[in-house]
Chain A
């Protein structure tokens, strides 16, 4: 059974420069919510961005991972003060 911490590390290892937050939102170890921020998403459609994350877990989705709700984003340019 994957843990949120394990999933976070796997996403960050698979997508260079990514920052991931993963939450087990039912506490049951099988429904997860992830927010992934990565410069590598720049120029990709939302569908392509989500595919990049789904690919990390390939066969586990529909198996041990019943649900993986995703929010993907490109890091916003924070104006420096």
Chain B
């Protein structure tokens, strides 16, 4: 049983839990481009709801990530999930992109909704259901 939406099967350098693909470390190119940051930005743009977390929705590796997954599952919101743990550069580039230092990070329609505290607060007030609908 999975709450993951189907994801495109194109080559994806991020460890998306919905694709079961093995993350492939991408060498840093010398031409100044940043493939990890671009892949993160692309994933945020492609998925209506995407969660960057430690571990996977089935096996969260941190209590804050687990709580955020539980909230999304309680709302029955389909979401894509990216595990930041396999490559520390994912977390570095994500935080640089989002200007947000902690994990998890939930995005909807390309915008940062927040971390575990904000997600929990918005769930309890009913705002999250609206924001993700």
A residues within 8 Å of B by Cβ?
46-47, 50-51, 54, 58, 61-62, 67-71
Contact = CB atoms under 8 A, between A and B. Distances in A.
A54 B102 CA distance: 9
B121 to A, nearest CB: 7
Interface residues of B, number: 15
Contact of A54 (B64, B101, B121): B101
B70 interface: no
A47 B100 contact: yes
A50 B116 contact: no
A50 to B, nearest CB: 7
Contact of B64 (A46, A47, A58, A67): A67
Nearest to A33: B117
A59 to B, nearest CB: 9
B64 A71 contact: no
B101 A47 contact: no
B115 interface: yes
B89 to A, nearest CB: 14
B72 to A, nearest CB: 17
Given A50-B114, A50-B117, A71-B121, 5 more contacts: A46-B122, A47-B100, A47-B118, A62-B102, A67-B102
Contact of B117 (A51, A58, A62, A69): A69
B77 interface: no
